[in-house]
Copies of this chain bind each other. A is one copy, B any other.
Amino acid sequence: MSENTFTVTFQPSGVVAQARAGEILSDVALAAGVPISLPCGGQGRCGRCKVVITRGEAERKTTVRLTATELEQGYALACQTRVQGDLEVFVPPIEEVIVRRLPTERGAERAYELPAACDWAAKPTLRKVHLQIEPPSLLDNTTDFERVSRELARQYDIRNLTVALPTLRRLARALRDADWDVTLTLEMSTWTSPDGPPRLLDVAPGDQTQTLYGIAVDIGTTSNVVYLVDMVAGRVVDTASAYNLQISCGEDVISRIIYAKKPGGLEHLQRLVVQTINGLIEELCARNNIAGTEIHKMTVAGNTTMTHLFLGLDPEAIRLEPYIPTITHPSPVRAHELGIHINPDATVDCLPGVGAYVGGDITAGVLSSKLYTTDKLSLFIDVGTNGEIVLGNADWLISCACSAGPAFEGAGVQSGMRATVGAIEEVWISAKTYEPTYRTIGDAPPEGICGSGMISLLAEMFISGVMDKAGKLNRTLNTPRIRMGEHGPEYVVAWASETRGKKNDIVITEVDIANLIRAKAAIYAGFSVLTRSVGIELADVEQVLIGGAFGKYIDVEKAIQIGLLPDMPWDRFHYLGNTSALGAYAALLCADMRQAVVEIANKMTYLELSADNTFMDQFTSALFLPHTDTASFPSVMRLLQSVGRRSQETQ
């Protein structure tokens, strides 16, 4: 062994790897197949790749996200550590949450509504027909494919049939095994060839025209959702969802793009999302007793980066100014090209996006929210890992994306966590004692704070006076909850004794608060710039349509109190559920709806905020609670007065 090569032993797996001097420890681990979570993409920001150096010499590049105790115990961030000698490294188990399933939406209260304009039965994307074919003879010895085409024209007036290799390979056997009595599955339309020619996707024995399945998929940065759709009845049969397995390579799109640059990184990310979706397909198939090959079409809605990673397109230029995707209207591809476990010849169709940060999830949202057909001036918002906003009506659409970051999804915040069991999702603070009361998901002992909990907490701290409009904690208050912590001033939401682990207090620090305020400011500044760009006031907006998983849990009252949402009557806000998946569902079923998404994408103007010279002003103005322009938040100002706290700060 050369003197510049060292041996790294990973525990508890016992995997032994060779490393060059100076090599990054997380690279060594990943190359050796030792799973290490890199939510921030290996930038040393998130602290999730903590390992313990139990023996040997390593250089710690930075120590952010490590406590003094942890440093003393030998903790290091694997992505920030260089190998300098033979090492033994203990790798703590990756958070279970990564593979934990989200609660299924099965039997949810909400119906899976289709846009009113969706007359799917008139122009279906898929069709099944039953054919009884005269077997060949020496006197009628045309080929199998010609014979099928001929009968299809004769019996159903469907002409110009095409077929691709996977189906063609099964054709001869399928026809003979079924004694020439078969059901054909035909793709009648795709957005690139809306009027055909029809394509033969499958041949099954006998009459099987009663069943026909497709899936609509929402590929979120955080979670993926699959709707199993009965294409005969035109309804959602079942749904399943799971965290996107890519989370282990980065929590937000930027981290994933950085990860994709690593050797093999893009291919790895592509495989992970396909693995996530295949797992959900398997779950749905098992539960509904169908085979994967019985699924004959898939539509996908995702943001531009997720769509790129799903298709295996290099996303790097999306991250760098001037933020250029490879493509926003990708042509349909086949399931076997991507490794999706449905019928190998089935079309996988990604809904079109508008720009680097307004993707197919947003055009799908505009479709399913019916914004594109309404006369009302509407604001559509989808706050997920990113925040996208669309303003408009049936005549015009303008959109932008706010790089809110994942703060509201629990990342970049010390006690942040995703919305799973044990997450604090609602908080109340007494304006007298400054003592909090909270509610957790599943009523379990608290482990951290999720996004809706953060909004609730921020609003309560502000209204109760624990924190001022700039997000600074009031350290003059007589409460042990406000104190100096390792990372500066902090407020204790739950004492260690109340928590599941009973080890650490759950706190929110001024640094966390600043992160959250920046996130809400980015979104609100988006509203302001968008409305100003078309010369209207935010108050003129007649309805606010909220999509995305985050919207499901948002508390409008609290969100207005911190200035995340504009201050308007609550009845103007509408929660629409997973607008992305619902849009994919409509486009799956109905050729006209699929064309409508193309028109939405073509019609929508994309405003690049970083190229807008008013954005920074708007952002800065929004860095206060609820906002520098207090006149825009009359209900919040009235509330502050009513709790008897008309401090000098408010004017």
A residues lining the B interface (CB < 8 Å): 136-139, 141-146, 162-165, 168-173, 176, 192, 311-314, 316-317, 321-328, 330-331, 333, 337, 355-356, 606, 608, 610-611
Q: How far is the CA of A316 from the CA of B173 in the complex (A)?
A: 9
Q: Is there contact, CB below 8 Å, between A144 and B325?
A: yes
Hey, which chain B residues are within 8 Å of A606, CB to CB?
141
**A162 with B312, Cβ < 8 A, contacts A136-B324, A144-B325, A322-B141 known:** no
Q: Is there contact, CB below 8 Å, between A328 and B138?
A: no
Which of B165, B316, B325 touches A143 (beta carbons < 8 Å)?
B325
Q: How far is the CA of A437 from the CA of B343 in the complex (A)?
A: 64
Q: How far is the CA of A328 from the CA of B142 in the complex (A)?
A: 9
Q: Is there contact, CB below 8 Å, between A314 and B169?
A: yes
**A312 with B608, Cβ < 8 A, contacts A136-B324, A138-B321 known:** no
Q: Is there contact, CB below 8 Å, between A611 and B314?
A: no
**A608 with B141, Cβ < 8 A, contacts A169-B312, A317-B176 known:** yes
Q: Is there contact, CB below 8 Å, between B163 and A331?
A: yes
Given contacts A145-B327, A168-B311, 12 further A-B contacts (CB under 8 A): A136-B324, A138-B322, A138-B323, A138-B610, A143-B324, A163-B327, A164-B333, A165-B311, A168-B326, A171-B326, A172-B314, A176-B317
Which of B138, B146, B171, B355 touches A608 (beta carbons < 8 Å)?
B138
Closest to A320 in B: B176
Q: How far is the CA of A355 from the CA of B146 in the complex (A)?
A: 12
Q: Give chain B nearest CB distance to A322 CB in angstroms.
A: 4
Hey, which chain B residues are within 8 Å of A169, CB to CB?
311-314
Closest to A315 in B: B172
Hey, which chain B residues are within 8 Å of A313, CB to CB?
168-169, 171-172
Hey, which chain B residues are within 8 Å of A327, CB to CB?
143-146, 163, 168, 171
Q: Is there contact, CB below 8 Å, between A355 and B141?
A: yes
Q: Is there contact, CB below 8 Å, between B324 and A165?
A: no
Hey, which chain B residues are within 8 Å of A137, CB to CB?
322
Closest to A355 in B: B141
How many copies of the polypeptide does the oligomer hold?
A: 2
Q: Give chain B nearest CB distance to A300 CB in angstroms.
A: 14
Q: Is there contact, CB below 8 Å, between A136 and B168?
A: no
Hey, which chain B residues are within 8 Å of A170, CB to CB?
314
Q: How far is the CA of A176 from the CA of B324 in the complex (A)?
A: 11
Hey, which chain B residues are within 8 Å of A192, CB to CB?
162
Q: Give chain B nearest CB distance to A326 CB in angstroms.
A: 5
Q: Is there contact, CB below 8 Å, between B138 and A611?
A: yes
Q: How far is the CA of A283 from the CA of B170 in the complex (A)?
A: 34
Q: Provide a sorted-by-A list of 14 A–B residue pairs whose CB atoms are within 8 angstroms.
A: A138-B323, A138-B608, A138-B611, A141-B324, A141-B355, A144-B317, A144-B327, A146-B327, A162-B331, A164-B333, A165-B337, A168-B326, A172-B314, A173-B314
Q: Is there contact, CB below 8 Å, between B138 and A356?
A: no
Q: How far is the CA of A561 from the CA of B61 in the complex (A)?
A: 90
Residue from A172, A173, A355 with most neighbouring chain B CB atoms (10 Å): A172
Hey, which chain B residues are within 8 Å of A163, CB to CB?
327, 331
Q: Give chain B nearest CB distance to A271 CB in angstroms.
A: 14
Q: Give chain B nearest CB distance to A336 CB in angstroms.
A: 9
**A143 with B326, Cβ < 8 A, contacts A169-B313, A314-B172 known:** yes
Q: Is there contact, CB below 8 Å, between B143 and A328?
A: yes
Hey, which chain B residues are within 8 Å of A324, CB to CB?
136, 141-144, 172
Q: How far is the CA of A163 from the CA of B332 in the complex (A)?
A: 10
Q: How far is the CA of A312 from the CA of B145 in the complex (A)?
A: 15
Hey, which chain B residues are within 8 Å of A355, CB to CB?
141
Q: Give chain B nearest CB distance to A509 CB in angstroms.
A: 35
Q: Is there contact, CB below 8 Å, between B165 and A333?
A: yes
Q: Is there contact, CB below 8 Å, between B611 and A139?
A: yes
Q: Which 3 A-B pairs have the closest CB atoms?
A: A138-B611, A145-B327, A138-B322
Q: How far is the CA of A287 from the CA of B608 in the complex (A)?
A: 52
Hey, which chain B residues are within 8 Å of A146, CB to CB?
327-328
Hey, which chain B residues are within 8 Å of A311, CB to CB?
165, 168-169
Hey, which chain B residues are within 8 Å of A145, CB to CB?
326-327
Q: How far is the CA of A565 from the CA of B119 in the complex (A)?
A: 67
Q: How far is the CA of A355 from the CA of B138 in the complex (A)?
A: 11
Hey, which chain B residues are within 8 Å of A323, CB to CB?
138, 141
**A330 with B141, Cβ < 8 A, contacts A136-B324, A176-B317 known:** no
Q: How far is the CA of A627 from the CA of B646 in the complex (A)?
A: 120
Hey, which chain B residues are within 8 Å of A610, CB to CB?
138
Closest to A324 in B: B136
Q: Give chain B nearest CB distance to A153 CB in angstroms.
A: 16
Closest to A142 in B: B324
Which of B136, B165, B316, B322 touches A322 (beta carbons < 8 Å)?
B136
Q: How far is the CA of A326 from the CA of B203 in the complex (A)?
A: 13
Q: Give chain B nearest CB distance to A136 CB in angstroms.
A: 5
Q: How far is the CA of A173 from the CA of B260 in the complex (A)?
A: 13
Q: How far is the CA of A328 from the CA of B333 in the complex (A)?
A: 25
Q: Give chain B nearest CB distance to A223 CB in angstroms.
A: 25
Q: How far is the CA of A325 from the CA of B138 in the complex (A)?
A: 13
Closest to A606 in B: B141
Closest to A611 in B: B138
Q: How far is the CA of A419 from the CA of B130 in the complex (A)?
A: 53
Which of B138, B164, B322 touches A331 (beta carbons < 8 Å)?
B164
Q: Give chain B nearest CB distance to A283 CB in angstroms.
A: 27
Q: How far is the CA of A314 from the CA of B143 in the complex (A)?
A: 13
Q: How far is the CA of A145 from the CA of B304 in the complex (A)?
A: 14
